Amino acid sequence: MSVQSFQEHFDSLIDREVTIEPKDWMPNDYRKTLIRQISQHAHSEIIGMLPEGNWITRAPSLRRKSVLLAKIQDEAGHGLYLYSAAETLGVTRDSLYDQLHSGKAKYSSIFNYPTITWADMGAIGWLVDGAAIMNQVPLCRTSYGPYARAMVRVCKEESFHQRQGFEIMLTLSKGTDVQHKMAQDAFNRWWWPSLMMFGPPDAESPHTEQSVRWRIKRMTNDELRQKFIDVTVEQAKVLGLEVPDKDLKWNEERGHYDFGPINWDEFWNVVKGNGPCNKQRLETRKKAWENGQWVRDAAMAHAEKRKARKAEAAKAA
Ligand code: FAQ
């Protein structure tokens, strides 16, 4: 087959909504875009463990502690599915880790904000996992098979995460005055950064148009952000919390909420590494990686020993 007919075959698979699999021919830029997005997503999952990890030892009850621990472990698992999906595109996991640890790779801006009260655990589950689900449900139909299949499982777990966050917020909001204030304060601090998670406006998003054409992205940044706002504003009413946006207003004509301006300078500043916790997150991650070296060495030595023993037994038989 000529390159042109490979390209035609690829285009027809995309048009017919047939998933592209690792051994299929794909254009170089399609492969590059997937490696970029999937690896950034994987990095986000594991860096995303850190803000919540900050509260494991201080959770207010044994139940809250075990739920939080399980949730954070789930995020590690999501990272692993995603790194595996990226590896099917021909990159090594070590090279992806190198990019993260050297500060070259991006991960979601949201994880560079501090978690200063217990209510932040509720706000992260409710808003951050809520935004993640909104973005990831359409990705269950993304055109690359291994990514789509990873997303199915991730979304099931994320919906449990979202509910546990909502439940924390509900308990605090309906609790004492101080608890209610804590919930509102966390909402005030996490609302705008959560809206930024969806990425820059479509008009300033260099990748959206092509990614939508390739059906990697099934919806644009602005479409997903609007959907998230419409759903979450209603949830805030149930919680008895006030959305921290004085411009928020239902627009009958559009059938959506209008909302105030997002501070895109703040977003780009965080993406460039100057958010409140960028340095701390990367340092913590690198330290965990270095401290885990002996575990990786021991696992490799054990695997070598087993292999040698098996080879010896085969020789003796
Ligand atoms: N933060 O042209 P676009 C989670 C970058 S998982 C940092 O719009 P694209 C689970 C973008 O990479 C959260 N950088 O790009 C959890 C690009 O830079 P590049 C992560 C951002 O790819 C919960 C440039 O700006 N989810 O939360 C951000 O078409 C709780 C131009 O942007 C995913 O990764 C940002 N927010 O659209 C874990 C989902 N937004 O590469 C623990 C999969 C944009 O040219 C606790 N990813 N940038 O240097 C996607 O859907 C897309 O990649 C977007 C960005 C929508 C994030």
pLDDT confidence of residue 3 = 73
Residue of minimum CA distance from atom 41 in ligand 1 = 36
Residue 39 has pLDDT above 90, yes or no: yes
Closest ligand 1 atom to Cα of 124: 30
CA of 91 to the centre of ligand 1 (A): 19
- The mean pLDDT value for 258-271 works out to 98
CA of 106 to the centre of ligand 1 (A): 8
pLDDT confidence of residue 4 = 77
Share of residues in the chain with pLDDT > 90 (%): 98
Tell me the pLDDT tens digit for each residue of 45-97: 999 999 999 999 999 999 999 999 999 999 999 999 999 999 999 999 999 99
Closest CA to 103 of 291, 274, 294, 290: 274
Residue 251 has pLDDT above 90, yes or no: yes
The Cα–Cα gap between 161 and 42 comes to 17
Closest ligand 1 atom to Cα of 197: 36
**Which residue type is seen at 184?**
Q
Q: Does any ligand 1 atom lie closer than 6 A to the CB of residue 68?
A: no
pLDDT confidence of residue 2 = 78
Q: What is the mean pLDDT of the chain?
A: 97
Q: Does any ligand 1 atom lie closer than 6 A to the CB of residue 104?
A: no
HEC states along 162-177? HHHHHHHHHHHHCCCH
Structure tokens belonging to residue 128: 């951050």
Residue of minimum CA distance from atom 22 in ligand 1 = 37
Q: Does any ligand 1 atom lie closer than 6 A to the CB of residue 199?
A: yes
pLDDT confidence of residue 317 = 83
What are the CA-CA distances from residue 220 to residues 10, 137, 264 (Å)?
22, 13, 17
Residue with token string 């139909």 = 141
Tell me the pLDDT tens digit for each residue of 105-134: 999 999 999 999 999 999 999 999 999 999
Q: Does any ligand 1 atom lie closer than 6 A to the CB of residue 75?
A: yes
The Cα–Cα gap between 136 and 130 comes to 10
pTM of this prediction exceeds 0.75: yes
pLDDT confidence of residue 272 = 96
Tell me the pLDDT tens digit for each residue of 195-221: 999 999 999 999 999 999 999 999 999
Residue of minimum CA distance from atom 52 in ligand 1 = 37
Residue of minimum CA distance from atom 23 in ligand 1 = 129
